[in-house]
Structure 1
């Protein structure tokens, strides 16, 4: 059995849904389909999820919602009409969208979660109806009915472990099952959504639960690329990644998957294949637990992400103080701030944080606590850092990788502010200024993907 997840671009219109129908018919093993809400049909279009967020805010502000309701309903109606779906089968979707405006919720957070989840939920109902009309015996499955239970966090939920046993029963159905992605239910029966990339998370959860032989993630790209196509024109397609490589690349800015999205598949050791709905016969990118290491192409991908802040402090004899780091991290924990990296020396330490974790007021409070409790000899907070990550199985054991990386950065006339090598066996993380990120990626791509020699001022590496 295979689990196939289709993203918003794959379901944006009737024409796109026809491609999905052809894909499902082409392989009888595709018995479980996880769907996103309809995405953009054109560059200037609006995703249904964004329309639902606007709808929710309209209701919260006690404004007339009929206009935004009509826009949302029309998106589903247009897809149904493409397949001549009877009005009677569209009516439950229309009614559900309209009734959102009068429902009562425990809080604004639950209200927003329910509105957003309506995009996937109604699309699953629509897709199941269209499948049946197109000769694919299908059944819509509500997450509550199949036991997809999550933590009580309205817009950032996590799967509850006992759900997997309940979801395992999905493998016993003979019809093609259509499941809405992005959300589950807490134990009080309220809708709670997953974080960004939530439909990918649902797909991975279901794939793990039914022990799928493969989890196919259909999107609008032919494969995962070795670098961001907005930085590198026509980058190399990656044919095979390990789970660990994909996790590192996702964390560092690759947009195909949120860095949390694959965890259930990783835990279940379910191979993932990223494929293009528009070109389904292409091989795509396989992501699995292990892969053969290509010694000639040791680096799989290069990614960068901006929006980091560095908290630097110097404390002489820091290395002699038992519990020093614990005290520092406890201060951050007290303010609800998590950290990303923490390179250190005998007297110096830098904590790298996502800038979105901080506000000017919070930053001042953290500084005050550190200065009063730790008494650093030097203290600085620096904004506008970017992290560039070089990822590949085996790079830790490849002699000269770090030398080539730093030389490549130097050749690009970029200053390094942080290095992290050895914490992960498959990646090197280089901290630089935001403004230098694209130039660094271009230089590293030439060095490790195009295998061009590095030209330094005093020669060639």
Structure 2
């Protein structure tokens, strides 16, 4: 059994629906189909999820923006009419959206979750109707019916362990199962959406729950590239990489997967294959537990902006018991997670996402560090970018770091910090945000072209 997920661009129009159906029906092992909300049909188009957010923002005590609702409905209307499906579907979709507005009018967070989820939910119903119209048995399975139980934090759902037992029962169902991505239901009965990349998370959860032989993720690229293809011409395509490598690359800015999306299949050891809806015959990229290491020790280079560094200096810091624990407790009290902690004997840096230092948190954290830890100096360095050089083969290869520092010097990027974990799957370099793109280009040519 395979679980197959289609991203927003793959289900953006009637033409794309036809491609999806051909792909699914071409392989009898493809049983569970996860769909996103309709994405962009062309470069300047607006995603359905964004239209739904606009609709949610228009809701008030007196009603909502009818034009915003019409814009959403027109996306489904176009598909339904071009595929010659029953127009009653559109009436049901409109009723579903209006019901959510009525139910959550006075609770914006719940309203936003319900309306965003409706993008995937209603698209799954349209996809089910299309499979049935083609003469194939298909059933729409709501996340509630599937038993997708999640935590009750709007916009940040986490799957609960008991959900997997519920999902496993779907193996007993006949025909195709069409399941909307992006959301689940809490024990309180609320619709709750996953964080970024939510449909990928759903696909991974369903694959793990069904104990699938493979999780296929269809998007709009032939494979995963070793570097952002907007930075270099014809970058090297990756045929295979490990979960660890993909995790590092996703964390550092690769947009193929959000870094949470692979956890369920990783824990089950289920291979993932990333393929192109518009070119399904291409082999794509496989993500596996272990792979054969070839003569290319580095598989990818990724970067991400929006970091800052809390830099702390205190003489004899290394002799002070509990210093690191007390420092991290200050961050924990402010609900701030850290990314990296490079350190020396008298200094320590905490790398955090800049967006976490809001609503007075920055001032409170700095004041507490000064008062409670009695440091000699503490300051924040802003506008940092992190570059990750990733590859399972790096641990067995001499000269990887040397090649990186030479490439960064050639790019003109000043290295602010270097960090490497004990697994040696990745090396992290901190640079000024303004120099990151040129730095990534020079690293690419050093590892993949020279």
TM-score normalised over the length of structure 2:
0.98
The aligned counterpart of 2:191 is: 191
The aligned counterpart of 2:145 is: 145
Say if 2:315 and 2:376, in contact at 8 Å, map to a contact too.
Answer: yes
The aligned counterpart of 1:175 is: 175
Say if 2:33 and 2:177, in contact at 8 Å, map to a contact too.
Answer: yes
Q: CA deviation at 1:101?
A: 2.7
| CA deviations over 1:309-359 (Å, ceiling 9, x no partner) | 001111111111110000101111111111100011111101101001112
For the residue of structure 2 that corresponds to 1:4, the secondary structure is strand
| CA deviations over 1:27-64 (Å, ceiling 9, x no partner) | 01110000000011111111111111111111137454
Say if 2:310 and 2:351, in contact at 8 Å, map to a contact too.
Answer: yes
Q: Is 1:59 equivalent to 2:43 in the alignment?
A: no
With over 3 angstroms needed to count, the CA separation of the structure-2 counterparts of 1:59 and 1:360, relative to structure 1, is closer
| CA deviations over 1:191-248 (Å, ceiling 9, x no partner) | 0000000000000000001110000000001100000011112111100010000000
Moved more, 353-362 or 45-54: 353-362
| CA deviations over 1:152-211 (Å, ceiling 9, x no partner) | 111101000000001001111121000000000000110000000000000000000111
The aligned counterpart of 2:331 is: 332
The aligned counterpart of 2:260 is: 260
For the residue of structure 1 that corresponds to 2:392, the secondary structure is coil
For the residue of structure 1 that corresponds to 2:379, the secondary structure is strand
For the residue of structure 1 that corresponds to 2:59, the secondary structure is helix
The aligned counterpart of 1:455 is: none
CA RMSD of aligned residues (A): 1.2
The aligned counterpart of 1:373 is: 372
Write the distance in 2 (CA, Å) between the matches of 1:97 and 1:104: 11
**Which stretches in structure 1 are left out of the alignment for 5+ residues?**
453-461
Write the distance in 1 (CA, Å) between the matches of 2:172 and 2:388: 43
**Which stretches in structure 2 are left out of the alignment for 5+ residues?**
none
Write the distance in 2 (CA, Å) between the matches of 1:97 and 1:79: 18
Write the distance in 1 (CA, Å) between the matches of 2:422 and 2:371: 31
TM-score normalised over the length of structure 1:
0.96
Moved more, 63-72 or 381-390: 63-72
Say if 2:296 and 2:393, in contact at 8 Å, map to a contact too.
Answer: no
The aligned counterpart of 1:28 is: 28
The aligned counterpart of 1:2 is: 2
Write the distance in 2 (CA, Å) between the matches of 1:204 and 1:322: 42
Matches within 5 A, 1:18-417: 18-60=18-60, 62-104=62-104, 107-294=107-294, 296-359=295-358, 361-417=360-416
Q: CA deviation at 1:146?
A: 1.4
With over 3 angstroms needed to count, the CA separation of the structure-2 counterparts of 1:311 and 1:73, relative to structure 1, is same
Moved more, 386-395 or 415-424: 415-424
For the residue of structure 2 that corresponds to 1:9, the secondary structure is helix
For the residue of structure 2 that corresponds to 1:103, the secondary structure is helix
Write the distance in 1 (CA, Å) between the matches of 2:231 and 2:62: 44
Greater than 6 Å deviation, 4+ residue runs: none
Write the distance in 2 (CA, Å) between the matches of 1:437 and 1:421: 19
Q: CA deviation at 1:67?
A: 1.4
Q: CA deviation at 1:403?
A: 1.2
Q: CA deviation at 1:145?
A: 1.1
Moved more, 407-416 or 115-124: 407-416
Aligned residues: 450
